[in-house]
Structures are given as structure tokens and as C-alpha cells.
């Protein structure tokens, strides 16, 4: 018997491919220079152990100049940032964060591209953000979130390598929302 389509509601759209059989997001390509290293926690008799950073995960075994942690309260938003020479290596050690990247480098092959990631304890990973790629982070959950950043160049108190535009700047084609919808 041929199934009728009379159950479809007006405007219904069929889902596209969103995940591979290895449960990896079937997302478009990454912004040039961005690396996402998925990390699987090791379960122990007392809890778990999760590696955060290995030089073999990043190209040319780049250095670590400093490691710092930022906390974001539930709903907290820190956007948009960019660095001229500093590479951020972001790891969410507690809670969940949305991390959005925007490539405004006109010479980049991925100029204009946005990447959105959800990082945290539910799916640990290290996100490498190259210099000059704009980024913003949001704690989209209801518990405190902790972001660890293993940067290659330590923070310079006298001349921070840190540029900002407001989270609602029209120069970045993205708006963070607090909605939780499909």
C-alpha cells in the first residue's frame, strides 16, 4: 500500500544529515587553522580522568605560555574577542559552553565562515582558536561553567593582545540567544 503524505503539516521540512555513524557532527568544514580534538574521559574506580592538552594534538608542538581558567555563571556571555598573535586552546572543565568562531581574515580560504561548538563535560574536547579568529563563549546551562585556556603567549599586563567588539555588534553575523530549541 502506498503511504499517503497527508500526515505532513504545512511547512514541514525533512531533517538533513546531522551526525555520522561515529556520532561525529556532520558539520561543514572548520575555519582554516581551527582544530577540534575530541577527548574521551577515562572512567576510574573513583570518578574519571580527562586529558586536556597534548603537544601532539596541535601543529608544530606549539608552546604553552600560560594556562588560566575563566568561570561563566549560568547564562554568562563573553564575546567577541580576538588576538593578533595568541592562539587560544579552550577546554571546558565544568558545565557546558557554546563557543562560536568567526573568520574575518579577508585572505583566509574560510573568510566569513562561522563555526559553533558545544564544549563541556558531556562531550569533552580541546578547541584550538588561531590568532585573528573572533570568538565568543556562552554558558548556556544552569550550572557554573569553567573554561580552561592554555595559550601559547602569556598575557601581557602592559599591552594585552586582546581586541573586542560587543556581543551584539553588526560586524559579526551571529547572535547568541538563550533559547533552547531544536
Query: Is residue 163 involved in binding ligand TDO (CB under 6 A)?
Result: no
The DSSP string of the chain is -PPPSTTPPTT-------B-TTS-B---PPPTT-EEEE-PPEE-SSSEE-----GGGSGGG----EEEEEEE-TT-EEEEEE-SSPPEEEEEEESEEEEEEEE--TTSTTTT-EEEEEEETTB-EEEEE-TTEEEEEEE-SSS-EEEEEEESS---SSS---EE--TT-TTSS---------
Closer to ligand TDO at the Cβ: 40 or 163? 163
Identify which of 92, 76, 65 has the alpha carbon closest to the alpha carbon of residue 140: 76
Closest CB 137 distance from ligand TDO, rounded Å: 5
Nearer to ligand TDO, 80 or 113 (CB): 80
From the list 133, 137, 141, 145, which residue makes contact with ligand TDO (rule: CB under 6 A)? 137
| CA dist., res. 104 & res. 108, Å (int) | 8
68 binds ligand TDO (CB under 6 A): yes
Total residues at interface with ligand TDO (CB under 6 A)? 11
112/160 with CB nearer ligand TDO: 160
Q: Are 171 and 91 in contact (CB under 8 A)?
A: no
User: Binding segment for ligand TDO among 26-34, 63-71, 120-128, 169-177 (CB under 6 A)?
Assistant: 63-71
Distance of closest approach, residue 164 Cβ to ligand TDO, in angstroms? 7
Among 32, 51, 52, 70, binds ligand TDO (CB under 6 A): 70
Q: Which is nearer to ligand TDO, 7 or 157 (CB)?
A: 157
Min dist. Cβ of residue 122 to ligand TDO (A): 19
User: Smallest gap, in angstroms, from Cβ of residue 173 to ligand TDO?
Assistant: 19
Q: Contact positions toward ligand TDO, by CB under 6 A?
A: 66, 68, 70, 78, 81, 88, 135, 137, 149, 155, 162
Amino acid at each position: 500500500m502506498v503511504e499517503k503524505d497527508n500526515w505532513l503539516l504545512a511547512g514541514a521540512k525533512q531533517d538533513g544529515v546531522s551526525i555520522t555513524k561515529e556520532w561525529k557532527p556532520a558539520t561543514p568544514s572548520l575555519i582554516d587553522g581551527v582544530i577540534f580534538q575530541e577527548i574521551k574521559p577515562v572512567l576510574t574506580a573513583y570518578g574519571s580522568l580527562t586529558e586536556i592538552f597534548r603537544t601532539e594534538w596541535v601543529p608544530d608542538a606549539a608552546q604553552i605560555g600560560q594556562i588560566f581558567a575563566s568561570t561563566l555563571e549560568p547564562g554568562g556571555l563573553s564575546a567577541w574577542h580576538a588576538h593578533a598573535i595568541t592562539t587560544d586552546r579552550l577546554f571546558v572543565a565544568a558545565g557546558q559552553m557554546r563557543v562560536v568562531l568567526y573568520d574575518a581574515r579577508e585572505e583566509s580560504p574560510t573568510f566569513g565562515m562561522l563555526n559553533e561548538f558545544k564544549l563541556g563535560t558531556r562531550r569533552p574536547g580541546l578547541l584550538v582558536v588561531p590568532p585573528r579568529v573572533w570568538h565568543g563563549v556562552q554558558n548556556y546551562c544552569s550550572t557554573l561553567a569553567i573554561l580552561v585556556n592554555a595559550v601559547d603567549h602569556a598575557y601581557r599586563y602592559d599591552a594585552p593582545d586582546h581586541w573586542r567588539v560587543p556581543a551584539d555588534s553588526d560586524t559579526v553575523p551571529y547572535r547568541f540567544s538563550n533559547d533552547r530549541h531544536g
